[in-house]
Structures are given as C-alpha cells and as structure tokens.
A and B are shown apart, each in its own frame.
Chain A
Amino acid sequence: MYEFVRGPLVWIAFIGFFGGLLYRFITMARLARKDKVVYATFDAKYGLRSLLHWVIPFAGVNMRMRPIYTLLSYAFHICVLVTPLFLMGHAVLWQESWGIRWWSLPEGIADIMTLVVVFACIFFIIRRLVRPEVRNVSYPSDFLLALLVMAPFVTGFVAHQQWLPYKPMIIIHGLSGALWLLLIPWTRLVHMMWFPFTRAYMGSEFGSVRHSKDW
C-alpha cells in the first residue's frame, strides 16, 4: 500500500487531475461558442485590468471592506498552492518518479504554511456556521470540501511530526491528496481554473461595453 501511494497513485492523481481539467476546459470552450456573446466580448486589456485588481490584495473595494478575511484568504490560497509544490518531502518524490529536481521550501516555513492552510480552513468552516448570509447558502458539500482540502495538510503534518505511526499516516495523506486532486475538476474547487476566465470576462464587459470598473 505504501509503495502504491508513493508511486502509481501519484500518477493516477495527476493524470486524473490534468485530464479532468483539460476535459472541462475543452467542453466549456465549446459551450462558450454557443453563447454568442462570450468570445466577441473578451477583451485582453480590460480583462487583464480587472484580473490584476482582483489578484493584488486590497485593490478592490470589497477586499478593503473586510481586511481580516482578505488577509486570511490570500494567505490560504498562496499556501495551499505553494506548499505541496515545493515541500521537501514532495521534491524527493518528483525526483524519484520523474527525475525533476527543483527548489524546495525550508522545513520550518513549510510547517508554518501548512498550519496556515489548516487554520484558514477551520476559519472558513466556522465562518460558514456563524455568518447567516454564508450559512444560508452552505450545503453539506461545502463543509466536506473544506475538510477535504484540509485533510492532506493535517495528515502530512502529523506524519512529518511523527505524532502517529508514520506509514499509515502517509498512506492516508496520499489517499486524501489524490482524492483532492481528482475531485478538483468536478466540484466547486474548479474555481481555481475558472477564476481568471470569469473575472476577465466580467472585466471585459465592464471595461469595453460599459466603460466602468468592476472592483
């Protein structure tokens, strides 16, 4: 099992992840042709202008209205993307499986980043429970997704600290991480791929058709 998790599972997860995203991308691009206005409206300048304002922290009004949420959300998204890619433990795997060698995060920093992800997820879950406007639109799947995102980070951290037996922990870690990757294309987590497109589209509409700003 341990070997499976370290080897074939990684392959399966990545193929499923990229394959899923590619499939979703192609079907959406086709669907966009049916939506007569989409391609005609896209405008590189205004699309990028809007995107930039939504990528730079506090560039938009809504981000300034809720500074704590904004900070946490940025910290979370950076850590959730960067940590798995540049973790030392993963770097070894990259090298073993594909012979790729790249820079990895110093261990202390990686630990902190992992904890940021975990705490941010807990914060998001609590926010879902206590803010009426968020609770009202939360489905059970929203909580499950937050837990799913958290799972590989918690298990990886526990395994790394060796608080619990290492091998079983790594197996759970690998399985949850793979599940995470495999589910991204098919759940709301797909927002990671759609974000630039929806934002740029709205930016294009606001900029080129309506001559105004959307941030």
Chain B
Amino acid sequence: MADLQDIQVIDPGVDESIKKLTPERIERTINRVLTEESAARLQIYLDTCVHCGLCAEACQSYISRDGDPDYAPVAKVKDTLWEMVKRKGKVDGEFLHNAARIAFIDCGACRRCSAYCPFGIDISYLIMTVRRILNLLGVVPQYLQDTTNSHAVTMNQMWVQQDDWIDTLMWQEEDAQAELAGTRIPLDKEGAEIMYSIIGPEPKILAQLIANMAIIFKVAGADWTMPSTDGWDNSNMAMYSGDFETMGRVERLHWERAMQLKVKRVVMGECGHAYRGAVYDGPRWLGWTKPPIPMVHAVEYYYELLKSGRIKIARKIEEPVTVQDPCNIVRGRGLHHKLRYVINEICEDFHDMEPRYEHNYCCQAGGGLINCGPPWKLSRMKSNRIKADQIRETGAHTVITPCHNCHSGIEDIIGHYKLGCHVSFISELLVKTIEMPNAGEEA
C-alpha cells in the first residue's frame, strides 16, 4: 500500500493540470506515445517481464519502506504503464495523479534494478516513458516544470541571465585571485584544450565552486576556457520532466558551443545527471551514438591530475570521510575506482559504504526527484532510510558527493535523520589540500 501521506500530497503542477484534461486527450496522448514514439524496447520489456519480483530488493525505496510491495520497481511499472496498456489509454485523473507520484517521486531512474532483473529490463526507461506521457499531458510537478521552463527560455536551469553569468564569472575570478594570484577564468578562448562546463545552480547558489575549479586549473597549468554565452549549462532537467524536445535543444547547444570553441575535450563539473544528459540521453535523442567531443567528468579529471602529479596534495584531510557513489558516474560511467583513488589521495581516513560501486543505492534525489521541490521532500526522506543507515555505519564526518543532486539529497538525509555529518564536493577538499605555488612565483 503506497504511503498515505504521499498519496495526499497536492502539487499544482500535477493536480491543477489534471483538471484541464479531457478523456479524449488522455487517451490520444497515451496511445501516441505507446505506439508512435516508442518501439522495440517498450514492447520487449512489457512482453518479457515474468512478474517475478526479483527486482524488488534492488530499489532503495522498497528497502527503506520495509518491503512495501508498491515500491518494488516492477510494481511502479504495473501501476503506471501496464495499466495504461491494459486500459488502452482510458485512464482517469486519479490514476494520473498516482502515476505522476510514482514516475516523478518514487523512481530516481538510477537503473540499479536493471542489474537485478534477470532479463535486464530497463525499468528506468519504462518510467521515463510514463514521464514522457505525463509531460505531453502537462502533468509535471510544478518545481520540476519550472526548471524545464528555465531551460527552454534561458538554456540554463536557474533563470541565470546573460549579464549575471558574466558578472558571476568575473566575481569568482577575483575571489580565486585572492587565494592564488594570477588565476584567470578565460572566456571564449578558441582552440583551448578544455572547455569547462558547469550546471545552473553553480552561478546561482554555489558560485565558489567555480573559483575552486579555476584554482585547480591554475595549479595544474591547464589550457582551459568557459563560454561567455548560452551553452555553458549542461545540466538538463528537461530530460527528467519528459520534455525531450527541450532536452535535445539544451544538449545540442552545449555541444555546438564546444565545437565553436574548437576545444579538444569538455571537462564537466561534479554533477552526475548532467554527465548522463551530455553523454547518453542527449546524443541518443539527437540521433548520435556518442558526443562529438570527448567529455571527461571532474572525477576523471582530478584522477588524471593527481596520478600524473600535475597537482600534489600538501596535507591530507584527517577526519573520517565516506563517499556517495553517484549512480550516473558509477553505474553510468564506471568511475568508482578512480573516485576512490582521488579520495585516498586527499583523505587519510576513508570509510567505504556497503553496498558500493555499481551496487550503491541512489540518493533518491537524482533523476529529477529533488527538483520536484518541497511538497515531496518527506517522501524522498522516507524512501531512503537505507542511505541514512549506510552513512551512519561508516562513522564519517564528511560525505563526499561528486554530484550536485547527491550533494543536496544527502544533505537532506543527514538533516532528516540527524546524522550530524556534512557533505562536500571534491573540489572543496582539493583547494584545502593541494600544494599551491608560492604567490611570489606568480606573475
């Protein structure tokens, strides 16, 4: 039985939109997505699932809610897609209200269950198909829709305007220079080796992360640049709200910007879903097998710098730390060993979570969940008690989270379950620990 409090949550983006729908529109939209927009994968997954429930134990929400059957991955598909197929699209408002809760809040699209289902059924893809239907019906949690609107209008996630963007970069450049003389944030430098791309929340609320990275680039002696205009944000909430048209525009612009700057590769900041959008979902929607320029996640880049000795650690962090493996760079890119290498270089006392690597539990914030905003926070917390247990067990004071969603999601969990630790990006630890050249040597 799904949680009563969750069922009763009212979200205007969902409930007000449902009131405007007609049965014909619902039916037409569902059938269009099921027959025209999707093909073999949808068909074969619906055909093959033997209703065995072996995927249940994979999902953090199922485990955290004491094995409530409604939170098993397959149940989430049953209560949404199976019913839509069975009823040939003739579903009502109440059904859609529940489907929206299930698709947008109960599943973080983390794909852990695909490694537990014997057939490798992609539940996350099926849930995304439900989100696509809901998106076309205009039934999307309000906060999430707002970020999507922002993408559509400004090409970034947080309504950052052009003048704000430049202003923030200049301000961060000054801040960085106060730490390390001579640090620059080079804009639009054509032919640079690296384009550094970040996500919307950085200029908006976490600007110091930009300065951190500028310092790291400076110490490493990197040849890098950032775009002065749209295309700098590679986060993509449209990908999670089911607005694939906007998702495609965002990704295309991001890659076009990189091509214009003629860079050799794109290094992206510590974010998981942005990586997924730029490397996986975006190119697929655009019909490319892979991005036009290689993309390197910050974790890979730090690994490279530390391994080659281009940056060195002067003094390690002593307090106990652990790490949240972000699904999108671990299950989504296999960076877990490199991540551990980086952490062990920076920190004395690292305690791993169990299960870890590809089998780590999602933070229940990714996949657009945290972007659904305050109405759904309590539900997210209930769905990830297991993460709180995992963190508590490590005894760590700091949870390293090289992903923006994990960062905010884990922070929420720490607060809700009173774990008394805090979260940190790797760049924050790096600027505290790397060997800085003497200010005198700098021109």
The residues of A with any CB-CB pair to B shorter than 8 Å are 28, 31-32, 34-38, 40-41, 50, 54, 60-62, 65-66, 69, 131-139, 142, 188, 190-191, 194-195, 197-199, 201-203, 205-206, 209-215
The interface stretch among B6-14, B45-53, B102-110, B369-377 is B45-53
Query: Which residues of B are in contact with A by a Cβ distance under 8 Å?
Result: 38-41, 43-45, 47-54, 56-58, 62, 67, 69-70, 72, 74-75, 78, 114-116, 118-122, 279-280, 284, 287, 289, 330-335, 358-359
What residues of chain B lie closer than 8 Å to A138, measured between beta carbons?
51
* B268 CB, min distance to chain A CBs, angstroms: 16
Bound CA–CA A178/B54 (angstroms) = 30
Q: Which of B38, B67, B115, B120 is A132 in contact with, Cβ under 8 Å? A: B67
The interface residues of chain A lying within 8 Å CB-to-CB of B67 are 132-133
Residues A212 and B334 in contact in the complex (CB < 8 Å), given A62-B57, A135-B69, A190-B48: yes
A84 to chain B, nearest CB (A): 20
Q: Is the CB of B58 within 8 A of A31?
A: no
Contact (Cβ within 8 A) A214 B115: yes
Q: State the Cβ distance, B298 to closest chain A Cβ, in Å.
A: 16
Q: Which of B52, B62, B74, B120 has the most CB of A within 10 A?
A: B120
Of A28, A131, A203, A211, which one neighbours B120 at CB under 8 angstroms? A203
Min Cβ gap A164→B in Å is 31
Interface on chain A toward B: helix, strand, loop, or mixed SS?
Answer: helix
Nearest neighbor of A128 in chain B, beta-carbon distance: B51
Besides A54-B120, A62-B116, A62-B118, 13 more A-B contacts (Cβ < 8 Å) are A35-B39, A62-B115, A66-B54, A69-B54, A131-B53, A136-B72, A137-B51, A194-B48, A198-B119, A206-B115, A211-B333, A213-B115, A213-B358
Contact B70 A188 (CB under 8 A): no
- Whether the pair B289, A35 counts as a contact (CB closer than 8 A) is no
Closest to B43 in A: A31
The 5 closest A-B CB pairs, nearest first, are A202-B120, A211-B334, A136-B69, A32-B40, A134-B53
Residues of A within 8 A of B53 (CB): 131, 133-134, 136-137
**Least Cβ distance of A51 to chain B in Å?**
9
Kindly state the separation between the CA atoms of A58 and B57 in the bound complex, as whole angstroms: 16
Chain A residues, Cβ within 8 Å of B72: 133, 136-137
CB-CB < 8 A to A35: which residues of B?
38-41
- Are A198 and B121 in touch, CB under 8 angstroms? yes
A36 to B359, Cβ gap below 8 A?
A: no
Known pairs A62-B57, A209-B280, A212-B332; A133 contacts B50 (CB<8 A): no
The reply to whether B40 and A188 contact each other, CB–CB distance below 8 Å, is no
- In angstroms, Cα B117 to Cα A62, docked, is 8
State the CA gap A203–B114 with chains docked (Å). 10
Residues of chain B within 8 A of A201, CB atoms compared: 41, 120
Within the complex, the shortest CB–CB distance from B335 to chain A, in Å, comes to: 8
Contact residues in A for B75 (Cβ distance below 8 Å): 133, 136-137
Which of the residues B41, B48, B332 comes within 8 Å of A38, measured between beta carbons? B41
Please name all residues of chain A whose beta carbon is closer than 8 Å to the beta carbon of B118 when the two chains form the complex: 54, 62, 195, 199
Task: State the Cβ distance, B428 to closest chain A Cβ, in Å.
Answer: 26
Closest CB of chain B to A202's CB: distance in Å?
Answer: 3
14 A/B residue pairs, CB under 8 Å, sorted by A: A28-B44, A31-B40, A38-B41, A54-B120, A131-B53, A137-B72, A137-B75, A195-B48, A201-B120, A205-B122, A212-B358, A213-B115, A214-B358, A215-B115
Q: Name the distance in Å between B54's Cβ and chain A's nearest Cβ.
A: 6
Shortest beta-carbon distance, A140 to chain B, in Å?
A: 11
Residues of A within 8 A of B40 (CB): 28, 31-32, 34-35, 38
Contact A137 B334 (CB under 8 A): no
* Smallest CB gap from B359: residue in A: A61
Across-interface contacts of B38 in A (CB, < 8 A)? 35
* Shortest Cβ gap from A82 to chain B (Å): 19
Contact status B122-A202, CB under 8 Å: yes
Nearest-CB residue, chain A, relative to B286 = A36
The reply to whether B50 and A188 contact each other, CB–CB distance below 8 Å, is yes
What is the minimal beta-carbon distance from A161 to any residue of chain B, in angstroms? 31
Q: Please give the distance in Å from A4's CB to the nearest CB on chain B.
A: 32
- Asked if A198 contacts B115 (CB within 8 A), the reply is no
What residues of A have a CB within 8 angstroms of the CB of B333 in the complex?
210-212
Which of B39, B74, B280 lies in contact with A210, CB distance below 8 A? B280
Cβ-closest chain B residue relative to A188: B50
How far, in angstroms, from A28 to B358 measured CA to CA in the complex? 30
CA distance A120 to B358 in the complex (A): 32
- Contacts A61-B359, A62-B116 given; indicate if A136 touches B70 (C-beta within 8 A): yes
Q: What residue of chain B has the Cβ atom nearest to residue A27's Cβ? A: B43
Closest to A142 in B: B51
